[in-house]
Amino acid sequence: MSKFPILAQSFQFVIAYKPMDKELDWSNLSFGYIPTDYNVRCRYSNGRWGEIEVSSSEIINMHIAATSLHYGQEIFEGLKAFRGKDGKVRIFRLEENAARIRSSAEGIKMQPVPEELFRKMVIEAVRLNARFIPPYGSGASLYIRPLEIGTSAQIGVKPSEEYLFIVLVTPVGPYFKEGFKPTNICIMREFDRVAPKGTGRWKVGGNYAASLEAGERAHKEGYSAVLYLDPKEKKYIDECGPANFFAVKNGKYITPASESILPSITNKSLMTLARDMGIEVEERHIPIEELAEIDEAGACGTAAVASPVAEIHDLDNGTKYIVAKDGQPGPITTALYNKLRGVQLGEEPDIHNWNTIVEGI
Ligand SMILES: *Cc1c(COP(=O)(O)O)cnc(C)c1O
């Protein structure tokens, strides 16, 4: 790799600079895609990762027989950068995301991205698009989406020999536009997101494809997500749409232990913060019937941090579990949400060293 792969591209920076037509309305951004100036790419071929490239194009040129297109060799990550109270830019738990995408790569036989390459590319993507980092106080953040795809032209079913790793970023608005309010979710037994020993523990695009039908049905009925049951016995709570599930019962934080769920970094962080606050944490099977005994529930992930649950409706037998009895988020969910946001925004001390500060932007 050349010593200054990014500097070599700095001419492009001047030529391709697209002035923003108007200042973005930071507080009213949705969780959608807004074009930014650059993305950062790296190709793996002939047994090694090449140089980091900076691109101002939103398009990739790919072979029609690429393994990602035919056999689903695609994995991704999601993390965020925040402009803090002190003006500094913080990327939350970059190392955890780097480790998880390597685990996903190994899970579906792709070439793992070295941690140092992941780190460099994520930081560079944030730095080059610094003008898209929403200001402190807007509630918005810069969403970072690393993705890796198999690119070799193959028709036989086997792992690709070549890969493309891309980091793109896009500003996203505050998740709770109308405030931090509980929503309803539903249990539906007709669909599983993943198989018992399948790809659920990896962040694989195909898991999302498998969840679209159930997710759309739930949305049509007014639910924010499907609460999946464990795919083997359908006895225990598994995952809440594209987020992990947690509940609070008798002052304890409980969350499913399951090999078919994705190990959420937000969930991990909430568990650590809960312990810091003296709250006991249990990672264990949660039988469906136990939903009748919980005091609070939420879905957690990078997008929402923690999204409180009001009611859980079992669509197959008509049972309704009323979690938020007064329709408000519970005290522990609220405290954990505020604490985590505080660490991300530099309002709270980062005692676990979760943030990577990007200097000079
Ligand atoms: C990304 C993801 C999550 C949340 O993980 P975080 O690291 O907290 O963002 C949860 N479940 C699924 C299925 C996911 O893909």
CA distances from 8 to 5, 51, 53, 54, 59 (A): 5, 11, 9, 9, 21
Residue 11's pLDDT band, with cuts at 50, 70 and 90, is very low
CATH architecture group of domain 26-172: 2-Layer Sandwich (3.30)
Looking at ligand 1, which residue's alpha carbon is closest to its atom 5?
264
- List all residues whose CB is within 6 A of at least one atom of ligand 1: 78, 203, 239, 242-244, 262, 264-267, 301-302
Residue 111 has pLDDT above 60, yes or no: yes
Helix or strand or coil: residue 129?
coil
Which of 95, 244, 258 has most ligand 1 atoms within 8 Å of its beta carbon, as the pocket-test mutant? 244
- Report phi then psi at 355, rounded to 5: -95, 140
Note the pLDDT tens digit of each residue in 118-165. 999 999 999 999 999 999 999 999 999 999 999 999 999 999 999 999
Amino acid 177: pLDDT? 73
Domain-by-domain residue ranges, the chain? 26-172, 183-344
Residue 211 has pLDDT above 50, yes or no: yes
Residue 203 a catalytic site member: yes
Residue 57 has pLDDT above 80, yes or no: yes
Amino acid 21: pLDDT? 52
Q: At 216, which amino acid appears?
A: E
Annotated catalytic residue within 109, 120, 177, 203: 203
**Residues recorded for the chain:** 361
Maximum CA extent, the chain: 63
Note the pLDDT tens digit of each residue in 174-188. 887 767 899 999 999
Note the pLDDT tens digit of each residue in 215-271. 999 999 999 999 999 999 999 999 999 999 999 999 999 999 999 999 999 999 999
Amino acid 174: pLDDT? 81
Looking at ligand 1, which residue's alpha carbon is closest to its atom 4?
301
Return mean pLDDT, the chain: 93
Q: Please, what CATH class does the domain formed by 183-344 belong to?
A: alpha beta
Which ligand 1 atom minimizes the distance to the CA of 301?
Answer: 8
Residue 45 has pLDDT above 60, yes or no: yes
